[in-house]
A and B are shown apart, each in its own frame.
Chain A
């Protein structure tokens, strides 16, 4: 959760730091591209835009954990 927050915070911060000139979208929003040269700022920016690659597995594990707790409780096991 902390990592997710850090990534989110960093991502939103980088939104303001990365110049809009670094993006091109000739054929609409979906064709937006991040233009080089690729500084560490731009790489971090691109990385933080993929934050769901962390948060979704985290939520998935939370779901699995809750499910396991429920099953154990149903079976009467000590938690």
Chain B
């Protein structure tokens, strides 16, 4: 072979140039699609710019080659020689650009990898964070459940203690360190007579009746930390005194400093009154038994003395000295018999009649006997009798004696001050099934210290010779015999405040069958027969 045809090289050059243009554009298209899909991807960015530069280069070079071939084919050799440096230079420029893009890629890819590495670390950290977040979420949910459960329990507990606090019948209170009451339950306000809406600044010093008790209370709290079953007196809003049983616990702050107290107070006024009444009843019962025994023992020898004195009086004339002495003996013996009879009445050993009685009539009888002497002593009598009183069953004479005793005592109480007012009232208390008779005077009243003894036999505040001290004792015995009670009030408490004087209140039961007419009972019959 002596020569080689250049035609294959020309064909390859032209076809290749055309194919390169097509392939470079197709590559650019995919690079464009990739970068559109993932604009943040560095590699796609590089490939896009690479393909773009490649397209420019391919187009420039291929067109240059095609132009060259065409010019040479059509015998424009001179023109090609003029254009050749420009296309070559332009191709070189684009080739340099392509190289620059490739170099940029190598540097860029390093940065991209570094970023990817960091991104990988961040991704791992993010995954760990997600795991931690999941765990935290689970813990949070668990915590929420726990908090919810605890809140429910707390709410139930709070409700329970709130109900206990609100519904307690005893006073429950909380104080600060200055013993000022901060919180108190409704029972406390009721017990102390204050309104919950208009409560002033209330402190323990305002409600303790005796300052010494408050001192003992605070001292015990600060030294021992608690007070247990302390009996104290409280003053109600309107001034009356109540007896309470107090228990309290001291509260201390974080520095172990006394910061207040919480306490419970139980009102024992009623219990105490009942205990007093019970003790009094027992005392009166035992005194009554003793009085009955003494009366019975004295009655027989007294009868003998009186009998013999009367017999001897027949032997001596009334004008003789012996006769006069025997009269004294008889008179004193009779006085003794009266005392013995009173003692028997007090001890309920005497006989009684049982009749249907209208107490208004009894009281009118009493006033008929006493009103004259009352008027002489400048005592004004006020009547307040219910007109439709039911009848009670009892001995009218004995009840009359009781009310006479009361009126006489009232008269004596007002004697010194030269007069006064005597109020007699008689009311039917239907709901309690009893009739209440009240005799109130405006006299000097009964001293507090003698109040427990006024029904004792032979107890009197009058001077010697003015009274035997059996009046109230006998009255007590008679009223007890009738199933009633006597209440004494001195000074008298009313809605308008305290009134001077004494009020004696007799309460007698109304029989269930009022209409059952009771005339004289067996005792009365026997009494008449004897």
Q: Which residues of A come within 8 Å of B, CB atoms?
A: 1, 5, 12, 23-24, 28-36, 38, 46, 49-53, 55-56, 59-60, 62-63, 66-67, 69-70, 73-74, 79
Contacts and interface: CB of A to CB of B under 8 A. Distances in A.
Nearest to B38: A73
Given A23-B6, A36-B3, A59 B72 contact: no
A31 B30 contact: no
A78 to B, nearest CB: 12
The 3 A-B pairs of least Cβ separation, nearest first, read: A52-B16, A66-B30, A49-B9
Interface of B is mostly: helix
B79 to A, nearest CB: 13
Interface of B: 1-10, 12-13, 15-17, 19-20, 23-24, 26-27, 30-31, 33-34, 37-38, 43, 47, 51, 54, 58, 72-73, 75, 88, 95, 98, 102
Contacts of A51: 16
Contacts of A56: 16, 19-20, 23
Contact of B6 (A32, A52, A70, A74): A32
Interface of A is mostly: helix
14 contacts: A5-B95, A12-B88, A24-B3, A29-B73, A32-B10, A33-B5, A33-B6, A36-B1, A46-B4, A46-B9, A52-B19, A66-B51, A67-B30, A70-B33
A12 B89 CA distance: 12
A33 B3 contact: yes
Nearest to B102: A1
A26 B462 CA distance: 180
B156 to A, nearest CB: 55
The listed residue with most B CB atoms (<10 A of its CB), out of A29, A53, A55, A74, is A29
Contacts of A38: 1, 4
A21 to B, nearest CB: 12
B27 A59 contact: yes
Contact of A34 (B3, B54, B98): B3
A49 B27 contact: no
A29 B20 contact: no
Nearest to B31: A66
